[in-house]
Amino acid sequence: MLFKKSSEKRKSFVIKGFSLVIFDIDDFKKLNDTYGHEGGDLSLKVLSRLILKRIRSVDLAARWGGDEIILGLVGANASDAFKIANDIREKTAKLKIKYLNKILSFTVSGGVADSHRAKSFNDLFRLVDKALYKAKKQGKNKIVGLSVGA
């Protein structure tokens, strides 16, 4: 029953199109080295909660690799997705988490692309991954959006 409800909500994923966002915690290895793996895990949990508060029930969010979180924003164009991603980035940068009598803080970088002209999910994923790489290369704590043909 739960799967059926979830599937029905996500039918619009194909019909309306969507945007893909990928976040990567900046300097995650340093975060783990400084606060231990428990501190790194805490940062992922806090980021996940922040993301889940910002997206809608029809959107998708999943951990993707060690310190990456990927979002599928149903019906969102690239501009809307960029605004959501940048809002999450800004809120993340302001976080001050008490952990082991210290203040843990971190930033994220992100890539954004929409499915408007992508021929396949793989094309779209390559595009959003390229955008994330550009954000990291530009100094981190940034969101970069790319379109097909970029």
Express each pLDDT in 89-98 by its tens digit. Answer: 999 999 999 9
Band of residue 11 on the pLDDT scale cut at 50, 70, 90: very low
Query: Does 122 have pLDDT greater than 50?
Result: yes
Q: Are 115 and 21 within 8 A, CB to CB? A: no
CB-CB contact of 127 with 146 (8 Å):
yes
Cβ atoms 92, 109 nearer than 8 A: no
| Overall domain count for the chain | 1
**CATH code assigned at 128:** 3.30.70.270
Catalytic residue among 26, 67, 114, 129: 67
Instruction: Give percent of the chain with pLDDT exceeding 90.
Output: 75
Tell me whether residue 118 is in a domain. Answer: yes
Question: Does some domain include residue 90?
Answer: yes
User: Is 117 inside any structural domain?
Assistant: yes
Give pLDDT, residue 32.
93
Active site residue 67: yes
In a domain, 21, yes or no: yes
CB count in 10 Å sphere of residue 137: 11
Going by pLDDT thresholds of 50, 70 and 90, the confidence category of residue 3 is: very low
pLDDT of residue 7: 42
pLDDT tens column, 46-84: 999 999 999 999 999 999 988 999 999 999 999 999 999
Establish if 1 belongs to a structural domain.
Answer: no
3-state secondary structure of 142: coil
Quick check: is 78 in a domain?
Answer: yes
Q: What is the model's pLDDT at position 126? A: 93
Q: Is residue 89 part of a domain?
A: yes
DSSP state of 34: H
Q: Which residue has the higher pLDDT, 120 or 140?
A: 140
Q: What is the pLDDT of residue 16?
A: 58
Structural domain range at position 130: 16-145
Of 22-26, 63-67, 102-106, least confident by mean pLDDT is 63-67
Mean pLDDT of the region 99-120: 91
Rounded Cα distance between 72 and 42, Å, is: 23
Residue 86 lies in a domain: yes
Q: What is the distance between the alpha carbons of residues 50 and 28, in angstroms, rounded to a whole number?
A: 18
Q: What CA–CA distance (Å, rounded) separates 9 from 4?
A: 9
Above 80 in pLDDT, residue 41? Answer: yes
